[in-house]
Amino acid sequence: MHNRSDQFSKNLLRDGLSLVSAAQTEVEVLAATQKIDVYCVPDPAREAERARMGLLGELSTGPSLFEPFHGTPSLRLVRRCLRKQLTWHHELERRARAAAGSVAPDEDTEALSQPAVDFPALVVISRGRPETVLDAYGFKPAQAGVYQAVPGLVMRVVVLAELPRTRATLLLRLLGSGRRFRDALADLAALPDGAWEKSVATPLLVHFRFASHEPTTDEEDDVSAEIRAWFEEYERKLRAEERKEGRNEGRSEEAARAVLTALRVRGIVVSDVARERILAEKDPETLERWHERAIVAASLAEVLDGLS
């Protein structure tokens, strides 16, 4: 159950950030036996979309490491995250030097040709308030539920239990537990069908939280019957769409083979390239048009559009 929740957290953050970033999960840090949970690099061309993403958009304005925790992290665990941040920045500098053909600086001096590399921000996501962490690094409130470390540490802590119940925080609140998770589900269900939050979160919620039939003990799975019914209905629609796509795929293949049969009856030689093109076509109107032409055609060029 813990692993399922962990995978859900990483995938939800990655897919949300992928709307405006190049986001990955399980990014390997080569210099250490650690992996960044989610690393994103913002796309400057999508700033307008980021502005509509609420708190998650605000947290990803620059290169960022996201580290979501199932509970409330200790100081030791956050130090591990800091080690990832520092090691990853070192790796980014190494890659930049290699790309620029620069030599590595020695340990005590900076090479004049050292390429400029943005220091990535660290965002720690905690379900509860990590008091020892906030005290140790001199965190100050930046906004409700978000804390900023002292200058020099590019690090923020998001406390899910303290986030206001607004649409701007919805995607992050889905990483919470108990009542807060149930409230976030209710808020998600109330959004219009075309909401970006639904397109990101609903498939992942179905896959990671509701698809399993194993008994669970986590309070995060104790959701209302109404919300569970909503997700079960979504899953039914999803399965129906998959079956429909499968049927359409079968009909397209059947129509494509009918075109090939008509050409064979007409004694027209079909090249491998043309055969692949016919079998790859999925549009029923195009296949129907080709079939009608193939019945009376004297050459392949009379059947396939644009074939010289």
Has residue 230 been placed in a domain?
A: no
Quote the CA–CA distance of 79 and 190 in Å, as a whole number. Answer: 39
Residues 115 and 173 in one domain: yes
Residues 261 and 121 in one domain: no
Separation CA 30–CA 77 (nearest Å): 19
Instruction: Give me the domain span that covers residue 286.
Output: 250-302
Q: Token pair of 237, please?
A: 């629609």
Q: What is the pLDDT of residue 185?
A: 87
| Total number of domains constituting the chain | 2
Per-residue confidence (pLDDT) for residue 73, from 0 to 100: 96
Specify whether 218 is located in the same domain as 279: no
Query: Which residues of the chain are under the pLDDT cut of 50?
Result: 1, 107-108, 211-221, 308
Least Cα distance to 305 among 162, 285, 89 occurs for 285
The answer to whether position 104 is within a domain reads: yes
Same domain, 156 and 272: no
Is the same domain home to 87 and 203?
Answer: yes
- Give the pLDDT of residue 1: 46
Same domain, 132 and 211: yes
Same domain, 174 and 258: no
For residues 285 and 206, state if they share a domain. no
Could you tell me how far CA 144 lies from the centroid of its own chain? Answer: 25
Residue 127 lies in a domain: yes
Do residue 263 and residue 219 come from a single domain?
A: no
Same domain, 214 and 69: yes
Q: Could you tell me if residue 163 is inside a domain?
A: yes
Same domain, 198 and 50: yes
Q: Tell me how many degrees the CA angle 173-141-148 measures, rounded to the nearest 5.
A: 85
User: Which pLDDT value is given to residue 284?
Assistant: 83
In the chain, the N- to C-terminal Cα span, in Å, equals: 59
Whether 32 is in a domain gets the answer: yes
Q: 184 and 112, same structural domain?
A: yes
DSSP state of 44: G
- Burial of residue 187 (CB within 10 Å: 0-12, 13-18, 19+) is middle
